C-alpha cells in the first residue's frame, strides 16, 4: 500500500498472513480478477529473512510457475533427482524419477516469499506490513470482519470471505467456535538444532541420517551455502553448541563405512532450536472463514511437507473462491475442508513416519531401534517400499 494511503475498509477476500500461503493466495486471486487485501503483522524484512523450508514438490513449482513466480526459481532452484538415507553406517540412494517420474527442487522459502512479495508490490492487491489481525467476527454472516491494528490505530476490514493464512500462532482459527473445532495434536521428545553454514554442501543431494546418537539432516540452500540439522533434546540452548561441536556431531552421525566423509567446515551464520509438532484443526472452514497452511495444520519438518501443504491448500481455495466469484456457486467452497484434509492427513502420516523412523527417542529401547532399522532396510530392499516413500516425498498430485 502506498505510504499515506487510507487503510482498505472493504474487500472480496481478506487474507490474514503474508507468509507463503497468504501471498500465493493473493497472487492466484489477483490473476483471476478477484479483489483481495493481505494483512501481515510483521515487517517486510522479517518475513523475507525467516529461515524455514527448503524443498519444493514438483506440484508446488508448477503452481509458482503458472502464476508468474517461476523466473528466479527456474534460474536458481536446484533440481534434485533423489535423496540419500544413511543408517547402520551404510548409504542408500532413492532415485525419484525412476521410482515416481517426479523430482523436487531446492529453493528456500525465503526466496519464494521474496518473489511473491516483489510481484505483489509491483502490480498486485494491497499488502499491509505491520498490520496485526486482532480478531475475526461475523464468520457465520455474509459480511465477516477482520479487526486489525495498523499504524497505532485499530481498523476494520469488511470482507466477502476471510482466508486465515496466519500460521500456527495466528488468530483466524479462533473464528471457528470452540464447540465446532477439534484439534488433533502430538509432540515429540526431541527438537532440531538448525544451522546455516558458509560451506559448500557436503553431498550433492539431501542426506537423512539415522544414528543411535540421533538424527542428522544435510541440506543446502545454494552451491556455497549448507543448511544442516541435528536432533537435540527439547529445551536445548543453542549456546551449548559451539560450531566445532556441531561439525563433529554431524560427522559422527552421518558417517558411513563405504567412503570417508569429511565436510568442508565453514562459518555458521545462523543457529536456532526448533521444537517438532504434529497438529490438525478440523474443520478448515467455518461459515465464511477458511483456514489454509500452518493456520490449520503443522507437521514435523522431517518429510519436508509444511510449505507444500500450504501451497496445495491455497490452490484448492483459490479455485473455489474464483468459482464462487464467477458463477455465484459456493459448491467448491463447501467441499474445501474435506478436499484438503484428505491430503493433510496423508502428509501427517508420512511426516510422522519419517520422524519416528529416523529419530532416536530418549527412552528408546534396543528393540525400537531394531524396528527402525528393519523399516529402513525394507525401503532399501524393496522397490515398492522405496516408491511409497518417494511418492510421498515428491508429492501426490494436487486434488
Residue 227 as a binder of ligand PHB (CB under 6 A): the answer is: yes
Q: Which is nearer to ligand PHB, 111 or 313 (CB)?
A: 111
- Could you tell which of ligand RFL, ligand PHB, none binds residue 84, using a CB distance below 5 to 8 A set by kind? none
- Could you tell which of ligand PHB, ligand RFL, none binds residue 165, using a CB distance below 5 to 8 A set by kind? ligand RFL
Q: Among this protein's residues, is 305 annotated catalytic?
A: yes
Q: Among this protein's residues, is 229 annotated catalytic?
A: no
Between the CA of residue 146 and those of 137, 150, 155, 163, 166, what are the distances in Å? Answer: 7, 12, 8, 10, 12
Residue 304 as a binder of ligand PHB (CB under 6 A): the answer is: yes
* Residues numbered 324-353 forming contacts with ligand RFL, rule: CB under 6 A: none
Q: Give the alpha-carbon dihedral of 190, 195, 200, 205, to 10 degrees.
A: 30
The 158-187 contact track toward ligand RFL, x by CB under 6 A, reads -------xxx-xxx----------------
Q: Among this protein's residues, is 148 annotated catalytic?
A: no
Least distance CB 66 / ligand RFL (angstroms):
18
**For residues 17 and 40, what is the distance between their CA atoms, to the nearest angstrom?**
5
Per-residue b or e along 322-335, where b marks 16 or more CB atoms closer than 10 Å to that residue's CB: bbbbeeeeeebbee
Residue 113 as a binder of ligand PHB (CB under 6 A): the answer is: no
Is residue 38 within 8 A of residue 23, CB to CB? The reply is yes
Provide the residue count of the chain: 399
Helices marked H in the chain: 20-31, 44-49, 58-66, 71-76, 96-100, 109-123, 243-254, 306-327, 331-358, 366-381, 383-394
Q: Which of 148, 188, 208, 336 is catalytic?
A: 208
Q: What are phi and psi of 213, to 5 degrees?
A: -80, -10
Query: CB within 8 A of 231, min separation 6: which ones?
Result: 190, 191, 192, 193, 214, 215, 216, 359, 360
* Residues numbered 38-77 forming contacts with ligand RFL, rule: CB under 6 A: 39-42, 47, 52-55
Q: Among this protein's residues, is 80 annotated catalytic?
A: yes
Q: Which stretch binds ligand RFL (CB under 6 A): 11-19, 195-203, 205-213, 332-340?
A: 11-19
The 199-238 contact track toward ligand RFL, x by CB under 6 A, reads ----------------------------------------
The 100-139 contact track toward ligand RFL, x by CB under 6 A, reads ---------x----------------------xx------
Q: Which of 30, 150, 210, 305 is catalytic?
A: 305
By CB under 6 A, the count of residues binding ligand RFL is 36
**For residues 265 and 259, what is the distance between their CA atoms, to the nearest angstrom?**
18
Q: Among this protein's residues, is 301 annotated catalytic?
A: yes
**For residues 263 and 293, what is the distance between their CA atoms, to the nearest angstrom?**
35
Tell me which residue has cell 510449505.
Answer: 307
Burial class (CB in 10 A: 0-12, 13-18, 19+), 171: buried
Contact residues for ligand PHB, defined by CB under 6 A: 53-55, 206, 217, 219, 227, 301-302, 304
Contact residues for ligand RFL, defined by CB under 6 A: 16-22, 39-42, 47, 52-55, 109, 132-133, 165-167, 169-171, 194, 274, 293-294, 301, 304-308, 310
Looking at the annotation, which residues are catalytic?
80, 208, 301, 305, 393
Amino acid at each position: 500500500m502506498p505510504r499515506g494511503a487510507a487503510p482498505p475498509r472493504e474487500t472480496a477476500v481478506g487474507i490474514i498472513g503474508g507468509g507463503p500461503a497468504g501471498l500465493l493466495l493473493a497472487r492466484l486471486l489477483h490473476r483471476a480478477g478477484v479483489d483481495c487485501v493481505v494483512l501481515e503483522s510483521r515487517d517486510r524484512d522479517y518475513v523475507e529473512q525467516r529461515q524455514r523450508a527448503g524443498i519444493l514438490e514438483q506440484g508446488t513449482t508448477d503452481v509458482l510457475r503458472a502464476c508468474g513466480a517461476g523466473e528466479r526459481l527456474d534460474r536458481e532452484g536446484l533440481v534434485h533427482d533423489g535423496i540419500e538415507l544413511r543408517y547402520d553406517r551404510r548409504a542408500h540412494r532413492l532415485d525419484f524419477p525412476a521410482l515416481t517420474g517426479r523430482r523436487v527442487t531446492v529453493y528456500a522459502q525465503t526466496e519464494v516469499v521474496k518473489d511473491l512479495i516483489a510481484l505483489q508490490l509491483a502490480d498486485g492487491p494491497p499488502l499491509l506490513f505491520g498490520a496485526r489481525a486482532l480478531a475475526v467476527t461475523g464468520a457465520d454472516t455474509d459480511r465477516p470482519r477482520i479487526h486489525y491494528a495498523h499504524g497505532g490505530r485499530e481498523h476494520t476490514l469488511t470482507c466477502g470471505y476471510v482466508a486465515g493464512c496466519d500460521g500456527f500462532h495466528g488468530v483466524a482459527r479462533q473464528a471457528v467456535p470452540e464447540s465446532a473445532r477439534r484439534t488433533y495434536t502430538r509432540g515429540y521428545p526431541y527438537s532440531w538444532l538448525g544451522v546455516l553454514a558458509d560451506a559448500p554442501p557436503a553431498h550433492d543431494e539431501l542426506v537423512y541420517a539415522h544414528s543411535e546418537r540421533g538424527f542428522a539432516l544435510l541440506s543446502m540452500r545454494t552451491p556455497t551455502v549448507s543448511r544442516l540439522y541435528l536432533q537435540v533434546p527439547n529445551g536445548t540452548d543453542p549456546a551449548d553448541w559451539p560450531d566445532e561441536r556441531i561439525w563433529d556431531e554431524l560427522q559422527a552421525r552421518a558417517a558411513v563405512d563405504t567412503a570417508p566423509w569429511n565436510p568442508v567446515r565453514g562459518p555458521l551464520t545462523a543457529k536456532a532450536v526448533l521444537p517438532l509438532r504434529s497438529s490438525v484443526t478440523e474443520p478448515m472452514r467455518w461459515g465464511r472463514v477458511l483456514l489454509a497452511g500452518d493456520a490449520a495444520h503443522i507437521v514435523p519438518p522431517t518429510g519436508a511437507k509444511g510449505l507444500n501443504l500450504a501451497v496445495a491448500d491455497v490452490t484448492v481455495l483459490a479455485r473455489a473462491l474464483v468459482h464462487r466469484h464467477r458463477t455465484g456457486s459456493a459448491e467448491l467452497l463447501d467441499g474445501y475442508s474435506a478436499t484438503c484434509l484428505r491430503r493433510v492427513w496423508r502428509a501427517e502420516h508420512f511426516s510422522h513416519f519419517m520422524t519416528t523412523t529416523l529419530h532416536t527417542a530418549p527412552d528408546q529401547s534396543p528393540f525400537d531401534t531394531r524396528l527402525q532399522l528393519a523399516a529402513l532396510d525394507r525401503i532399501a530392499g524393496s522397490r515398492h517400499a522405496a516408491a511409497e516413500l518417494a511418492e510421498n516425498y515428491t508429492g501426490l498430485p494436487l486434488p
